[in-house]
């Protein structure tokens, strides 16, 4: 469940970047720029795969306290990154398409294939590295086969939604999609924090206590959910 949701959300965000760039090129009758975009995407996927393989390889080599500490650090970092990503996306959602189109137009004006590929690369590699870190952090929660199957389903759905967005589908309720997935992922971030603290307890850094873990979950999940869904005041609404 966790890995599938992570891949769905992160994959769809990457797909939105790709769809926005390709759609702009298509509208501008510059389909000749597609090749540079696909090269940028391929490079981003390679970098993301290298990061993921490195994390799993390092984790597999460590044992005992070192392993617990490494997993604790990466898991707590993943929880922090996940919360930051959700609020960053919420803040940037209204302008991200305009920003991407502006960067794409600038690259076209400069006649720079590298610049065009870089637009796609930066957007995709950010989501890819986040996905690698989050997938590593969910290791051990379920069997590898279940995690892999869940991730594949999430990836297929993400690509499908991205393609529908590229084709100009008006049936996609993006606001509801991001609201629902954000709420679930904020709860997931609380679970990651608790999991990280559990690893610290295994390493003997903090006491092993279920109240600490549940408290950590509540202290992260409750405030972030409140901030995400807090009612907008009159002053904010009129701004």
DSSP letters for 106-155: HHHHHT-HHHHHHHHHHHHHHHHHHHHHHHHHTBTTB-HHHHHHHHHHHH
Distance CA 194, CA 200 (A): 10
Residue among 220, 181, 227, 225 at smallest CA distance from 197 = 220
pLDDT at residue 77 is higher than 90: yes
Domain extents in the chain: 2-170
Mean pLDDT of 212-217: 91
pLDDT at residue 163 is higher than 50: yes
The pair of structure tokens assigned to 173 is: 């309720």
Amino acid 134: pLDDT: 87
The pair of structure tokens assigned to 182 is: 């954000």
CA 158, chain centre distance (Å): 12
Amino acid 69: pLDDT: 93
Amino acid 90: pLDDT: 84
Distance CA 58, CA 80 (A): 21
Q: Given pLDDT bands bounded at 50, 70 and 90, which one contains residue 16? A: confident
Q: Given pLDDT bands bounded at 50, 70 and 90, which one contains residue 215? A: very high
Mean pLDDT of 7-22: 89
Q: Given pLDDT bands bounded at 50, 70 and 90, which one contains residue 1? A: low
Whole-number average pLDDT of the chain: 86
Tens of pLDDT along 82-133? 999 899 888 877 778 788 888 899 988 888 889 999 999 998 999 999 999 9
Q: Which pTM value belongs to this model?
A: 0.83
pLDDT at residue 183 is higher than 70: yes
pLDDT at residue 236 is higher than 60: no
CB 130 within 8 A of CB 17: no
Mean pLDDT of 54-70: 89
CB 190 within 8 A of CB 86: no
Tens of pLDDT along 136-161? 888 765 666 777 788 888 889 888 88
Q: CB-based burial of residue 202 (10 Å sphere; 0-12 exposed, 13-18 middle, 19+ buried)?
A: middle
Distance CA 213, CA 237 (A): 37
């Amino acid at each position: 469940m966790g890995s599938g949701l992570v891949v769905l959300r992160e994959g769809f965000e990457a797909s939105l970047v790709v769809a926005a760039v390709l759609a702009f090129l298509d509208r501008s009758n510059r389909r000749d720029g597609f090749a540079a975009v696909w090269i940028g995407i391929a490079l981003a996927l390679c970098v993301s795969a290298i990061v993921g393989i490195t994390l799993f390889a390092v984790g597999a080599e460590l044992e005992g306290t070192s392993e617990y500490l490494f997993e604790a650090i990466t898991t707590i970092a993943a929880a922090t990154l996940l919360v930051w990503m959700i609020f960053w996306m919420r803040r940037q959602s209204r302008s991200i398409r305009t920003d991407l189109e502006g960067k794409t137009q600038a690259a076209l004006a400069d006649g720079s294939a590298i610049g065009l590929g870089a637009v796609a690369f930066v957007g995709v590699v950010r989501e890819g590295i986040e996905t690698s870190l989050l997938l590593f952090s969910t290791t051990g929660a379920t069997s590898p086969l279940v995690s892999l199957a869940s991730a594949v389903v999430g990836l297929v759905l993400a690509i499908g939604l991205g393609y529908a967005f590229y084709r100009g589908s008006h049936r996609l309720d993006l606001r509801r999609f991001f609201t629902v997935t954000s709420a679930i992922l904020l709860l997931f971030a609380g679970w990651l924090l608790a999991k990280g603290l559990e690893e610290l307890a295994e390493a003997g850094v903090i006491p092993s206590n279920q109240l600490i873990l549940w408290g950590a979950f509540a202290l992260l999940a409750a405030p972030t959910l409140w901030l995400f869904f807090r009612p907008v005041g009159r002053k904010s609404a009129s701004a």
